[in-house]
Chains A and B, each alone.
Chain A
Amino acid sequence: DQQVKQNSPSLSVQEGRISILNCDYTNSMFDYFLWYKKYPAEGPTFLISISSIKDKNEDGRFTVFLNKSAKHLSLHIVPSQPGDSAVYFCAASAGRGTSYGKLTFGQGTILTVHP
């Protein structure tokens, strides 16, 4: 039962262009969503998050959009840089609108940014 899904295993973009990573969820109890980035041989690193009371959160080059009715969120990276090449995981949690308790992760999307 995959409650968080990232249907694109990989994405390739040119440096300077926009990267859009997508994530869908099925559990209506999820109310806090996060994106993590992971390089080989390292643990996941937090990137950006959004509470279900918002539909957009922005941090520098990274913006996360949440569409609750569609149970869909996306991460936009503008402009993309070669150092952004990594595996990106979408994660969700349920409870109190914060990163509270366990996280449920998607399968990940491998982003490659070409110079």
Chain B
Amino acid sequence: DTGVSQDPRHKITKRGQNVTFRCDPISEHNRLYWYRQTLGQGPEFLTYFQNEAQLEKSRLLSDRFSAERPKGSFSTLEIQRTEQGDSAMYLCASSLMTGRQYFGPGTRLTVT
């Protein structure tokens, strides 16, 4: 059973550095979502793709954040000039068009 995978699982970076995370969805899923979760809170929606098209972006996604899904398969989320407030768990999920979302294990980012 191949679920949603994310890489890396943990990332420690210094403030001001750029980081990139990768998400590999379940292969037949055409939708891919990114969420961010901070301590004591539920996941917050960042953006989602249908195939390679980015359909919605949250106002949480500042101009330092960019997400891509080339060819409608895996996706990357890049954060430029990281800040301490970016420290969080970044979750990826995938689904069929109207199906439930399956989540990956997340990438925990720590900005020092």
By a beta-carbon cutoff of 8 Å, the part of chain A in contact with chain B is 4, 6, 9, 34, 36, 41-46, 49, 89, 91, 96, 98-108
Question: Which of B40, B43, B98, B99 is close to A105, meaning CB atoms less than 8 Å apart?
Answer: B43
Tell me whether B74 is interfacial, beta carbon within 8 Å: no
Question: Do B100 and A45 touch across chains, with their CB atoms under 8 A apart?
Answer: no
The reply to whether A103 and B105 form a contact with Cβ atoms under 8 Å apart is: no
How many chain B residues touch the partner (CB < 8 A)? 25
A-B contact pairs, 16 of them (CB 8 A): A34-B100, A42-B105, A43-B93, A43-B104, A44-B91, A45-B103, A89-B42, A99-B101, A102-B56, A103-B33, A105-B35, A105-B43, A107-B41, A108-B40, A108-B41, A108-B42
Summarize A's interface: helix, strand, loop or mixed. Answer: loop
Q: Chain B interface (Cβ within 8 Å of chain A)?
A: 4, 33, 35, 40-45, 48, 55-56, 58, 91, 93, 95, 98-106
